[in-house]
Structure 1
Amino acid sequence: MTSLLAFAGAAVLEIAGCFAFWAWLRLGHSALWLVPGGVALAGFATLLTLADSPLAGRAYAAYGGIYIAAALLWGWLVEGHRPDVWDVVGAVICLIGMAVILFAPRAMPA
């Protein structure tokens, strides 16, 4: 459960941080957007370290499913673009993959 909460928080921070750069470069907002964007990205990286995995690569792979679903929600709630059925199907597939990676029974390393 700790991983899921960390991943959810990390997704919000990563998307918000990247959106700050998007707002500056693509939407013409002030470069001051980069300050909270950088802080958000640092928070994102910090939260990923809380995942219940001894391997960074495995944690990042599992996080990908949460990120995809969160990005679609961001697009809907912040940018006003409602996901279509294929967005939802794709996100569900990714969340199933995340669950397999994160929750599969594994032997403890020697």
Structure 2
Amino acid sequence: MSALFLMKTLGLFIATAIAEIVGCYLPYLWLKEGHSVWLLIPAAVSLALFAYLLTLHPAESGRVYAAYGGIYVLTAIVWLRIVDKSPLSNFDLIGTAFVLTGMGILVYGWR
């Protein structure tokens, strides 16, 4: 497995995670924060993009979803810090490290 392949896959995982998080965050803003119902339109587009991006991943769907979960957790933790402006705890960081370790094992098995 080449470094270029891994970088492309990582980029695709990150894009997929962002599409999923945005697609879920926008309805949250509408329902919980009183923002415009019109946020549901870009939310739907984002979730459709998320579903499409999942089809571009390089392995069987079950393996992709399992490995993608690690990047989703990392992206959600980064989102927590940057968008929600919440400080990260040691548990956030250690938990994310464990998840990424598991993801690395799964991806290594794609060889």
**Taking structure 2 as the reference length, what is the TM-score of the superposition?**
0.88
The residue number in structure 2 matching 1:20 is 26
Secondary structure in 2 aligned to 1:50?
Answer: coil
Q: CA deviation at 1:47?
A: 1.3
Secondary structure in 2 aligned to 1:29?
Answer: coil
Amino acid at match of 2:39: W
Aligned-residue CA RMSD in angstroms? 1.2
* Cα distance in 1 between the residues matched to 2:89 and 2:56: 32
Secondary structure in 2 aligned to 1:83?
Answer: coil
Unaligned 5+ segments in structure 1 are none
The residue number in structure 2 matching 1:73 is 78
Runs of 4+ aligned residues of structure 1 deviating over 6 Å after TM superposition are none
* Cα distance in 1 between the residues matched to 2:88 and 2:75: 11
Secondary structure in 1 aligned to 2:87?
Answer: coil
**Taking structure 1 as the reference length, what is the TM-score of the superposition?**
0.89
Count of aligned residue pairs for this structure pair: 105
Asked whether the equivalents of residues 11 and 44 of structure 1 are also in contact (C-alpha less than 8 Å), the reply is yes
- Choose which of 87, 91, 101 in structure 2 pairs with 1:86: 91
* 1:38 and 2:44 matched: yes
